[in-house]
Amino acid sequence: MRAARSWRPSSVSTWPYGRLDEDACRAVVRDATEDAPDAGHGRRVWELSLGNPLFALELARGLAEGGTDPVRAPEGVRELVAERLVRLDPDTRRIVEALSVAGGDAALSELLDVAEHGLYPPLSGAAAAAALERAIAASVVEERQVVVAGRSEAGAAFRHPLVRMTCYERLTAVRRRQLHTAFAQAVQRRRPDAVDALASHFARADDPRAAEYLRRAAERAAALYANDTADRYYRDLVARLDVDAARARLAHAQVLRRMGHFEQAADAVRLALAEFERRGAHDDAVLAAALLAETLVKTSAPASGRRTLRDHPVTAETGPEPAACHFLALSLIRCVQGRYPAGAEAAGHALSAARDVPGPRGQGLVARAFALRATNLGLAGRFAQAREAGDLALEPAEAYGDPTLLGSVLSTLRENARRAGRLHEAVGIGTRALGLAERSGDPTAAAFERTNLAELRLLLEEPGPAGALAEEAVAGAEAYDAWCLPYTLATLARVRVHRGESAGAAGLLERAARVAASLGDRQAEHEVRTARAELALYARRPDDALRALDGHIDDAPVLVAWAELLSGRAGAALRLARAEVARAERTGEHLAEVEARIAMGTSLSRLARAPEAARELARAEALAESLPYPAGTRRAAWARALALACEA
């Protein structure tokens, strides 16, 4: 039941009860709203009230009366604070108002600077100090150490955030602007490199200098991977730019991509591209089109990305950087569409252009070109060339220093190590890639890296860690409806199969198939297809496995061989397995070789060729143990036992 509002103390200081903790504040919100409170509302009430029971109750009542977020002091609190402020003398009230504009606390040096140079009439020296002391004596303000430019300094702060909020709200718009300008000028004199403070004050003062400081603050936040802060600065910056907002939009789009907000990033790039087209800026338009095409790949629209590239082609007059970016985007699109040789060719064109781009930017483009070339070559089955290209990507990526780029290169190296059977090395590389994805604030990249680490843990016979990683990966991808969602679902399904939870795995794969088809991602469709075949084989349904792989025998020959075996066609299984052994030996894919030899040995045993079967299974076991490849060792031992049973 809601409390009656007929009684209210005349002063906060007369409230007789002690400070509430966070749980008690949540209870106040629950009682006032007659409903389960939003967790964010309960915490916000606690933060704003600092446990003051009356303030907590007033904030909760504001929610009960239709508020959605207690970000503004409710009327009851404003009345209480106003009573206290009106009792202050004019000079004390003016210095308190100045402090409210500072944001709740300020170094004494800057506050007194504003009092002397920003108040009219000025309040300086002993008069300013005396006014501040009176504010402290009235329990509105307190002395507190504040951190300025990394150093602790003597400062002043409001005793309660709601007092500061109310004081700030009572200022006229003209007065706020004047005080924000005064603070900005004080900061400029004392801390000219404090771009965040300068951006904040100049923006609130609606000063023309705000754009430059917002740009600098946004760039610094982006360089530190403080993505939320950079996003906020860029939004404010773009809103203030009447013209020439295109470059700010492109920079903002890069931040949005890191945050996993690909639709918003695409919208920002479209606006930038339109501005470049109006100006007739060819190179800038090609560059923006490349970024838009890459972003559209992440929003399930690779075909639209390809059209964007066709509408903004590279010509003889195009500079090397936009040309490199164009071909990098083309390589990515062709990779997603399953056109791996064409993707490798496009990456080669990107590499040629990138080598003509000077400085660190050129190194970053070279690294991306090598990494995309390695990915496409690997998926095309040209593993020796893929390993070479992947290794060549690492040095320029490390020199460039961007964690997002370095993480993508390490992801390529991790896959190369996995194919070669260096599983522990692959885990180390993948763990480093995950750390870089988390550092850059890219949730979709982090989800993808967790997916790959989960696969590696399964190969190492570590189902517990594999399951935890797979669950985290799905949760991370679902939160952003991310491009990597089908990969995460397929991996979690494999974990469920390993645990014997085939029903749960089937549902995950149904969903993964729908998402992969909507994305138009051929590699994701391959992952789902093979996972479905594995599930069917586990359930001893070889016909279902063959249907899942229909038309894709070359992509999963070992799975097809096992399906043929279970269907009683050992001769067909042997032919497939023997061809895959030869291919894997030639390319150095040791994991594939182990699996193919196991299938080959089992086929031979079914054909009553026991000596040959024993040799192949022994070779599979020896290779699996030497790598080491625990999952392969277990399967080889199982196949040997099966062969012995057949002999008996």
Taking a C-beta distance cutoff of 8 angstroms, is the pair 590, 421 a contact?
Answer: yes
Cis check: omega of the bond before 628, within 30 degrees of 0: yes
225 or 47: whose pLDDT is higher? 225
Distance CA 454, CA 488 (A): 9
Rounded to an integer, the average pLDDT of 50-56 is: 66
Residue 104 — very low, low, confident or very high, per pLDDT cuts 50/70/90? confident
Average pLDDT over residues 619-626: 96
543 vs 534: CA distance, rounded Å: 12
The residue among 395, 422, 394 whose CA lies nearest residue 410 is: 394
Question: Which of 238-247, 437-446, 511-520 is predicted with the least confidence, judged by mean pLDDT?
Answer: 238-247
* Paired sense of beta strands 151-158 and 141-148, if any: antiparallel
Percent share of the chain, pLDDT over 70: 88
Q: Examine the pLDDT at 463 and tell me if it is beyond 50.
A: yes
The percent of residues above 90 in pLDDT, for the chain, comes to: 75
Q: Considering the chain, what is the average pLDDT of its residues?
A: 89
Of the candidates 87, 89, 92, 81, which has an alpha carbon nearest to the alpha carbon of residue 52?
A: 81
Q: What is the distance between the alpha carbons of residues 108 and 271, in angstroms, rounded to a whole number?
A: 44
Checking if the pLDDT of 389 tops 90, the result is yes
As a whole number, mean pLDDT of residues 561-588 equals 95
- Positive or negative, the Cα torsion across 116, 119, 122, 123? negative
577 closest CA partner among 560, 590, 591, 589: 560
The answer to whether the beta carbons of residues 382 and 349 sit under 8 Å apart is no
The span from the CA of 422 to the CA of 541, in Å, is: 32
Q: What is the mean pLDDT of residues 217-226?
A: 93
Q: What is the pLDDT of residues 128-159, one digit of tens each?
A: 999 999 999 998 999 999 988 788 999 999 98
Q: For residue range 159-184, list pLDDT tens digits in order.
A: 888 888 889 988 999 999 999 999 99
